[in-house]
Amino acid sequence: MIELVYFDRNAVTEAYQVIQFRAGESWRIARDGELLGSVEKLNGVWRGREGSKLAEELIGNIGRLIDAQHFNKLPSDIKLHWPAQVQEVIPSGDEEYLVIAKPEIDFERFVIIFTAYIPHLLKDEWLVLFKLYDAGMNQDWEVSARAIRK
């Protein structure tokens, strides 16, 4: 689960919870414990799902908040950096990711290379846990990393 807080600039006291329970699902928006609706990005545009009680301006602002988060971009950065080794990257939150290797790679060597370089890809200053798995889910390894300050 990933949870963000959006503070409405027009009304400083208005805080919205922005929650995604599983990767790839729409984001649910709540205020004061009431579910107001869900948003999702379709063809590059943030939209409210059917039955949403959210204004278009608010949807756009919340969408920009989601887009600005590094965890949203990190899976594609990992896949781009290791295209021959990484099959899938699944965020389990902003502090944990599952990384599944492609078949027929040297998993132990990949773990060593991944461990050495992943701090360079991170932008967040908090500790992030990566759970690495081989393609058959027979081998696994955990790597904790923090961004290298530049």
Nearby residues of 48 by Cβ (< 8 Å), 6 or more positions away? 37, 38, 39, 54, 56, 59
Is residue 111, in this structure, part of any structural domain at all?
Answer: yes
Report the DSSP pairing between strands 128-133 and 96-101.
parallel
Nearby residues of 32 by Cβ (< 8 Å), 6 or more positions away? none
Q: Are residues 8 and 59 in the same domain?
A: yes
pLDDT at 9: 72
pTM attached to this predicted model: 0.65
Q: Are residues 31 and 82 in the same domain?
A: no
pLDDT at 150 over 60: no
Q: How many domains does the chain have?
A: 2
Q: Around Cβ 109, how many Cβ atoms within 10 Å?
A: 10
pLDDT at 4: 84
What is the domain extent for residue 9? 2-68
Is residue 15, in this structure, part of any structural domain at all?
Answer: yes
Is residue 25, in this structure, part of any structural domain at all?
Answer: yes
